[in-house]
Amino acid sequence: MCGIVAYSGKQDCAKLIIEGLKKLEYRGYDSAGISLQKDNKIITLKALGRVDNLEILVNKEKGQCFCAIGHTRWATHGKPCVENSHPHNDCHNQISIVHNGIIENYASLKAELEAKGHIFKSQTDTEVVAHLIEENLKTLDFTHAFCQTIKQIRGAYAICALYVKEPGKIMVAKNQSPMVLGVAKEGVFLASDVPAFLEHTNKAVFLEDGDIAQIEGPFYKIFDAELKEQTRKVNEVNWDFTTAQKGGYAHFMLKEIHEQPQSAQDTLLTLKAGLKDSFGLTKEEAKKIKGIYLVACGTAYHAALCAKYMLEDYAQIPVEVETASEFKYRKIAFCKDWLFIAVSQSGETADTIAAIKNAKAAGLKVMSVCNVLGSTITRLSDITLYTHCGPEISVASTKAFTSQLVVLYSFALNLSFALGHLEKASFDKFYTSLEKLPKLMKQVLVQEEKIKQIAKKIYAKNDFIFLGRNSAYPIALEGALKLKEISYLHAEGFAAGEIKHGPIAVIEEGTPVLALVAKGPLEEKMLSNCQEVKARGAALITISDDMALTDAVQVPFEQEFLFPILSAIVLQFFAYYIAVFRGRDVDRPRNLAKSVTVE
């Protein structure tokens, strides 16, 4: 997730773009860049870190500029460094582009372009777009060369491009990444999000997937891929700035719950774009793996617990899961041919870092699943598999959690295939199901109002029980943690089979019990547990992918292994609305920090 801001019109725009990028830093902030079109040149400036560092360079520029494109980066391909920052240019600095998303087929395109003599300066997927336009300009004008380029790339993208020979014109393409036009009196803004231009205009035109736009401020045209003109509604956005940063949602947490289809999709696309044999491990290395240590904290620990079931079921490999704070003090007789995997959204959790150092000292290969490229944990790891959620602002982790599961499930399927436990046909079937996740998540998100109404009935309670079996048991733990950390209420997750060994004693008249009833061999047992708690007066709420359970909050069924991810979204909504009804500071809950960098 990156931030794009561009402008073409009658206003001197360098400062407009810098201010706009600052308002989008919540979308990424490891580097920033701008291309200024002036004096028949394209001047590209880049700086590591925050937009302030770029502003210092821009302030040194003399003269005015009426057309420019800017970008603040959340690194996905290629580490955070000036060379990998956007904008990216072609071989002769005639073209400049900024991009938000993932070019899935970049590797093959890059190879073809290098064979034609193109010299690449970065490790990013984005740079191929600039060189493709350059190649197409040999036979087409800028507009058609840009359209031809868009036909050649696959993936998620929002792209803005400049061409030195057509000053004032910005070509734009949008597919699965956001791009909105801000229609002002004297010019047109382009941005990933409304806050970038809201102080200049509240007239917003939201581009749709497949749209191509040609901006020559204050005019703009929108086309489809065949350059057939399209009309898009001009919306009046009446949000204040803070609300706009939250995309109109009341809290970042709610926005990030709704971003999960996008983050799951971006993560899946990146895994596919970078697909190697079982993720950074050669087949020979994969075959040597005799077991896996999975280590993490908090929500990431619950993702690790979920992955344990997947790895044991599909890769048929022993897995040991431990919280990092416990792992680092255990006297473990490490098995040298076990793989150590750390899971962390921030990549800066002190306990997880300490556990990694212990594993490295024991000579284990270390893999991490992380959301922040260049963070400490990624630099300590031999291999890192990235989630692609963009910055997760709310303290309560939501989109990072489901994307961690996407990565870990993908790894488990690849490892299973590499170890010969899955035939290619079965691998393809399961992977195709995994790739349906963004669509399935959207079917859960539309139940928000129903979940809100149920939460309204139970928010005044003080004790909440979550039950699950097998891979839904970690989701019971996660649902309890989400509720605890933002509502400050007592909530506990249990393996449902355990309640008769003690916990059922806490159930009394009206105790809310949220039961995760997954279709499959354990469904009947879960339903018995539901009857047991109901008989003792529990206010039972079931979450299920069995459409026959009509009184449940239903999630769609695709594959058994997807139930944990989809049911987690339901529990995120429950936690969110109970906390809201309790009047809590949802995004900044008391006593907590987004990243626990102390042991």
| Residues forming the site for ligand AGP (CB under 6 A) | 297-300, 344-346, 349, 352, 395-397, 485, 595-596
Shortest CB 393 distance to ligand AGP, Å:
12
Cβ closer to ligand AGP: 202 or 595? 595
Shortest CB 298 distance to ligand AGP, Å:
2
3-class DSSP state of 172: strand
Report the Cα 11 to chain-centroid distance in Å. 35
* Contact in structure between 100 and 157 (CB atoms under 8 Å): yes
Strands lying side by side in the sheet with 539-544: 490-495, 463-468, 512-517, 539-544, 553-554
Instruction: Measure Cα distances from 299 to 344, 357, 428, 478 in Å.
Output: 9, 21, 29, 6
Burial of 385 (0-12, 13-18, 19+ CB in 10 A): buried
Instruction: Measure Cα distances from 516 to 65, 261, 356, 525 in Å.
Output: 58, 21, 33, 11
Shortest CB 349 distance to ligand AGP, Å:
3
User: Looking at 93-243, which runs of residues are DSSP E strands?
Assistant: 95-103, 155-163, 170-175, 180-183, 187-191, 203-206, 212-216, 219-223, 229-230, 235-236
Amino acid letter, residue 70: G
Shortest CB 302 distance to ligand AGP, Å:
8
Cβ closer to ligand AGP: 263 or 349? 349
Angle at 237 between CA 235 and CA 242, to 5 degrees: 155
The Cβ of residue 392 has, within 10 Å, a number of other Cβ atoms equal to: 26
Cβ closer to ligand AGP: 96 or 384? 384
Strands lying side by side in the sheet with 180-183: 41-48, 31-38, 67-73, 3-9, 187-191, 180-183, 203-206, 235-236
| Separation of alpha carbons 228 and 222, rounded Å | 8
Instruction: Provide CB contacts within 8 A for 33, sequence distance 6+.
Output: 44, 45, 46, 47, 54, 70, 71, 73, 85, 86, 87, 98
Shortest CB 433 distance to ligand AGP, Å:
26
Shortest CB 487 distance to ligand AGP, Å:
13
Cβ closer to ligand AGP: 170 or 297? 297
Cβ closer to ligand AGP: 190 or 400? 400
Task: Tell me the two tokens of residue 200.
Answer: 């200049």
Cβ closer to ligand AGP: 403 or 529? 403
Task: Tell me the two tokens of residue 334.
Answer: 């490490």
The Cβ of residue 129 has, within 10 Å, a number of other Cβ atoms equal to: 28
**Nearest residue relative to ligand AGP (C-beta):** 298
Task: Tell me the two tokens of residue 110.
Answer: 């890059």
Cβ closer to ligand AGP: 68 or 356? 356
Cβ closer to ligand AGP: 325 or 554? 325
| Separation of alpha carbons 111 and 116, rounded Å | 9
Shortest CB 483 distance to ligand AGP, Å:
11
Cβ closer to ligand AGP: 433 or 595? 595
Cβ closer to ligand AGP: 55 or 392? 392
Shortest CB 378 distance to ligand AGP, Å:
12
Shortest CB 30 distance to ligand AGP, Å:
16
Angle at 492 between CA 253 and CA 560, to 5 degrees: 75
φ, ψ at 505 (rounded to 5°): -65, -25
Half-sphere exposure in the Cβ direction for 32 (13 Å, CA): 28
Shortest CB 575 distance to ligand AGP, Å:
9
Task: Tell me the two tokens of residue 330.
Answer: 């255990």
- Residue carrying the six token digits 């792209």: 159
3-class DSSP state of 301: helix
Task: Tell me the two tokens of residue 595.
Answer: 């990243």
Cβ closer to ligand AGP: 212 or 395? 395
Catalytic residues: 2, 594
Shortest CB 397 distance to ligand AGP, Å:
4
| Separation of alpha carbons 494 and 501, rounded Å | 11
Among 465, 477, 454, 578, residue whose Cα is nearest residue 532: 465
